[in-house]
Structure 1
Amino acid sequence: MSNWADLTTGKRIKHLRGSDLTQQGLAEASGLSLALVQKAEQDRGELSIGSLLKLAHALKSDVSVILGQQAPRRATNQDTRAALRRLSDAVHDSALGDWDGIEEPSSLAELAAAHERVCATYWQGAYGELSELIAKVLLEGSVRYGQATGEERERLGAVLAGTYQFASSAAILLGQRDLALSALISARRLADESGDLVQVALLESTLSWIYLRSAKVSRAITVAERAALRIEPSFSKASSPQLLGYGRLMVSAAVAASRKGDSAVADDYLSQAHAAAARLGRDVTLHGTHFGPTAASTEAVGIAVALGNHGKALTLAARAELPRSMPKLARNRYKLDVALAQCAVGLHDQAADTLIEVALDAPEWVRHQALPGVIGKRLAKVSTARVRNIGELIGMPLIA
């Protein structure tokens, strides 16, 4: 087979479909029309993010594979493969109680500090360091948890649940859906035992995201909405944790609804998120999750892009203020939405500059995102040479 990145998107789809699945079969499995599948394989027209997600799900692959950013079976670089192996071993061995450490496991205080480093490292997109920290907390923490009682056990449960959640989020970003679900199952068990309803709700937000990445959009909405109803606050006397959890779940539901193309439902959920953010009055972090006015305003830009309201997206972006405290990955994910909107309205130079800025700021993370390939393909209609130059500069192919 030729170099995967050198193939066209249509040829990649055809290769992934193989001889065992017909075009009609792919159309039925993805929920797309036969005509769209045929056009996709012939490289006629542009595929929306929603269509790419559905095709990836039906082909049991990943959007980045279809776009040529990753070869089939996630042939990533050595460092990423090593990080994935550490993540997988840590998630499964800790759940099975299998730790071969000789010395006494770290104390609660040491594990809590390591968990804080997990939070910071995840939002920096440094997967090698992240996998090492997660392995430490899960393997040593599970041993300590089995020995603990009372308040120490409760606090350890929260630390472990939060670390499993980050393991789940990292796994889904790296295209490992089954590993993400395994980690989330362990997280939910621990959070249920601790009785922290907000932490349980935030885990449901992660589950909603996993379903969205798997193109199960309706299920993503249902999960987020159901979890939000369980912690729906009385806005006159709600606590900050309740508002954060509820607001984040409303964002999850709004994002999923926008991917479904349902603008009325997305707007309704988004208005609830804005109300929770306004009631908070500031950006808040809990269990490694960030929510507040910044998240509500930047997520609104991505939702407008998904709904095809590119002018509105850029208007909202012009009003948005990005504080220095905004996590790197959240900031760069927002900027990719802005770049996509810039492409759509013909601001190609600005879109290219935004894409370069993101890729240079978070090079390890951006390789596992679908939007750079989408943006690159659209920029190539104006200048293929420039897109190839951008690809060389950021160290990842954007077009075949």
Structure 2
Amino acid sequence: MTQEQLAERAGLSLAVVKKIERGGVGRLDTYHALARALRVKTSALFEPGAPHATTRADDDKVDLMPLRQAITPPIAASGRLLLGDTVEPDLDLANLRATAKALAASYYGDDYGHISQFLPALITTVRQAVDHYDNGPHHTEALKLRSDVLQTAGRYLTQVRAYDLAHAALRDALLDAAAADDQERASAAVYLQGWLLMRQGRLDEAERLALATADNVEPRISRATHSQLGVWGRLLVRASSAAARNNRPREAREMLRLARTAGAALGGGVASYPYGWGKFDWSTVAFQAVENQVVADQPKRVIGLSARVSAAGVTASANTWNRHRLDVAQAHVMLRQADEATEVLAALHLEAPEWLRHQQMAATTFEQSLRVSGRRRLTRKQRELSAFFQVA
């Protein structure tokens, strides 16, 4: 295949193909398009680069310092963590649990400033609680609480793209859940780890991890609790998402078929675990089916499926619903419907600006909409979005 033929089959510009072949780095969706054209897994196109080739700023080192100190404190030769000179806290587990729930709610409310302000102190305090209650049921409860808090931290840090720190938080959350012999909590940490791996382009690992864990926790449907169905269904949805992005559409469909079993078993109910996998019901599977069609470059199917989901009524969280709307905006751009895409993005900007700020796909979709709009002068909404996404 010539470069021109590959560019045409992948729906990319010739300049992009040439850049990639010369060793340049593209966006993940660019590799998806190339993988579809070449009929290979997306992960087959990734090659290791030189980490030192790009100069990195020091901003994140300062902004994330309190969370770094709380999640990865230095360890003395004795093996004890060096937590600094801290005032002895009130180690009431019930109060700490209430604080953890409030911070999880802040995440879903897109109040990232609140999370970054109070999460470091809570992590440090729950570490001290685990040390204080060193045995018995209180120790087990403290381990579960620390796992939940670290899962909230891992979720937030993945959202803001602090991936290495997120990995440390989720690793420790998984270890705490295992020490407490809590399989559902451990599975929730695995679910979040799968999201992190996907964000890093580690698609093979994300799929294998989620699917293996789903196999391990597969419940007996007739006796399963809502929580057991929720975590099993969520893991299958995660595996499907990774497979779809890895150009494995048949496997992605099969995993969603299994996830629908969990959604059907819930009836009209909703399973919920706010620290890890959030909420799960039939609509979770439907939203993932739509997202997989975006990845497969099937915009008409996206619009059609979205209309059916909306007509059926949804109970999704704001984050899940907003993510779905981004998929719809991207489909409109694929269909060269720039005005429709702009309307979706403008509504998200109005309703959830803090969440939208951290969605790289949103900025990319807006830039693409500008290219297909054909307008010489931007509309008011386009100007507002240009300023928000810092697009010239």
Whole-Å Cα distance in 1 between the matches of residues 260 and 137 of structure 2?
35
- Residue 228 in 1 paired to residue 214 in 2? yes
Whole-Å Cα distance in 2 between the matches of residues 188 and 388 of structure 1?
47
Query: Bigger CA drift: 384-393 or 224-233?
Result: 384-393
- Whichever residue aligns with residue 71 of structure 2, its letter is V
Segments of 5+ residues of structure 1 without an aligned counterpart are 1-33, 62-70
User: Which of 236, 259, 270 does residue 283 from structure 1 map onto?
Assistant: 270
User: Which of 358, 361, 366 does residue 368 from structure 1 map onto?
Assistant: 358
Return closer, same or farther for 1:72/1:267 CA change in 2, 3 Å cut-off: farther
SS of the aligned residue for 2:254 comes to helix
User: Which of 93, 101, 111 does residue 108 from structure 1 map onto?
Assistant: 93
- Whichever residue aligns with residue 90 of structure 2, its letter is P
User: After superposition, what is the alpha-carbon deviation per residue over 1:160-183, rounded to whole angstroms, capped at 9, x for unaligned?
Assistant: 101111211221222221101111
SS of the aligned residue for 1:356 comes to helix
Whole-Å Cα distance in 1 between the matches of residues 74 and 99 of structure 2?
16
- Residue 269 in 1 paired to residue 258 in 2? no
- Whichever residue aligns with residue 250 of structure 2, its letter is A
Q: How does 1:289-368 map to 2 (within 5 A)?
A: 289-321=278-310, 326-368=316-358
Return closer, same or farther for 1:243/1:199 CA change in 2, 3 Å cut-off: same
- Residue 138 in 1 paired to residue 115 in 2? no
Whole-Å Cα distance in 2 between the matches of residues 391 and 385 of structure 1?
9
CA contact (8 A) 1:387 1:398 kept: no
RMSD of the alignment, in Å?
A: 3.1
Whole-Å Cα distance in 2 between the matches of residues 344 and 60 of structure 1?
33
Which structure ranks higher in relative contact order (CA pairs < 8 Å, sequence separation ≥ 6)?
1
SS of the aligned residue for 1:320 comes to helix
- Whichever residue aligns with residue 113 of structure 1, its letter is A
Q: CA deviation at 1:307?
A: 1.3
Q: CA deviation at 1:346?
A: 3.0
User: After superposition, what is the alpha-carbon deviation per residue over 1:318-338, rounded to whole angstroms, capped at 9, x for unaligned?
Assistant: 122497863322221111111
Return closer, same or farther for 1:37/1:293 CA change in 2, 3 Å cut-off: same
User: Which of 8, 11, 18 does residue 38 from structure 1 map onto?
Assistant: 18
Whole-Å Cα distance in 2 between the matches of residues 346 and 86 of structure 1?
45
CA contact (8 A) 2:28 2:201 kept: no
Whole-Å Cα distance in 2 between the matches of residues 190 and 372 of structure 1?
35
- Whichever residue aligns with residue 113 of structure 2, its letter is G
Q: CA deviation at 1:213?
A: 0.8
Return closer, same or farther for 1:36/1:350 CA change in 2, 3 Å cut-off: closer
CA contact (8 A) 1:105 1:143 kept: no
- Whichever residue aligns with residue 271 of structure 2, its letter is V
SS of the aligned residue for 2:279 comes to strand
Report the count of equivalent residues.
Answer: 352
Q: CA deviation at 1:388?
A: 8.9
Q: CA deviation at 1:269?
A: 0.7
Return closer, same or farther for 1:308/1:157 CA change in 2, 3 Å cut-off: same
User: After superposition, what is the alpha-carbon deviation per residue over 1:262-300, rounded to whole angstroms, capped at 9, x for unaligned?
Assistant: 111110011111111111122221253211122222222
Whole-Å Cα distance in 2 between the matches of residues 216 and 300 of structure 1?
21
- Residue 173 in 1 paired to residue 165 in 2? no
Query: Bigger CA drift: 388-397 or 185-194?
Result: 388-397
- Whichever residue aligns with residue 342 of structure 1, its letter is H
Whole-Å Cα distance in 2 between the matches of residues 56 and 131 of structure 1?
33
SS of the aligned residue for 1:302 comes to helix
Alignment correspondent of 2:368: 378
Alignment correspondent of 2:73: 93
- Whichever residue aligns with residue 111 of structure 2, its letter is A
Segments of 5+ residues of structure 2 without an aligned counterpart are 1-13, 33-41, 76-80
Whole-Å Cα distance in 2 between the matches of residues 194 and 102 of structure 1?
27
CA contact (8 A) 2:244 2:292 kept: yes
CA contact (8 A) 1:248 1:273 kept: yes
CA contact (8 A) 1:160 1:187 kept: yes
- Whichever residue aligns with residue 319 of structure 1, its letter is R
Whole-Å Cα distance in 2 between the matches of residues 302 and 343 of structure 1?
15
Alignment correspondent of 2:56: 73
CA contact (8 A) 1:154 1:194 kept: yes
- Whichever residue aligns with residue 109 of structure 1, its letter is A
Return closer, same or farther for 1:391/1:169 CA change in 2, 3 Å cut-off: farther
Alignment correspondent of 1:161: 147
- Whichever residue aligns with residue 56 of structure 2, its letter is R
